[in-house]
Amino acid sequence: MDCGTCDSASPVIMVQPDAVEVNLTMTNKAKEMLEDAFGDDRSHALLVGVLSGGCSGYMYDLQIVESTDLPCQELNIGGFRVLVPSASSHLLDGIEIDYVDRLMGGGFKINNPNAASSCGCGESFS
């Protein structure tokens, strides 16, 4: 609501980047961990997305889903369905999904050649 006493701000123009055809790879260790998570059920998919936030600007978002309402590219990597939202495809093209064992438990790690920088924990990037 505009009370008329303040200057109105100009409208914000949102520019959505063009979707690119995503090429990604997955290490054998990551495939082994997905095999454990999926078992014989291949009706689910790994959704690889990007969220705003984290200490570097973006955070990776990995989810196991049955489906999604987001427009996505669907890839088949090692027999697994991998969904990449079209809106973040330019940020995820060329990534490698790995799984690393850590002292406090393991987790998936994304190696991203598009990231200009990333935080120390490797979970966010810019």
pLDDT at 125: 56
User: How far is it, in rounded angstroms, from Cα 82 to Cα 53?
Assistant: 23
The domains of the chain, with CATH numbers, are 25-125 (2.60.300.12)
Confidence (pTM): 0.78
pLDDT at 119: 55
User: How far is it, in rounded angstroms, from Cα 24 to Cα 75?
Assistant: 9
pLDDT at 77: 92
Residue 121: name the closest of 96, 95, 100 by CA.
100
More confident residue, 47 or 56: 47
The tens digit of pLDDT for each residue in 36-46 reads 988 888 889 99
Residue at 1: amino acid letter: M
The tens digit of pLDDT for each residue in 79-123 reads 999 999 999 999 999 999 999 987 777 888 999 887 776 655 555
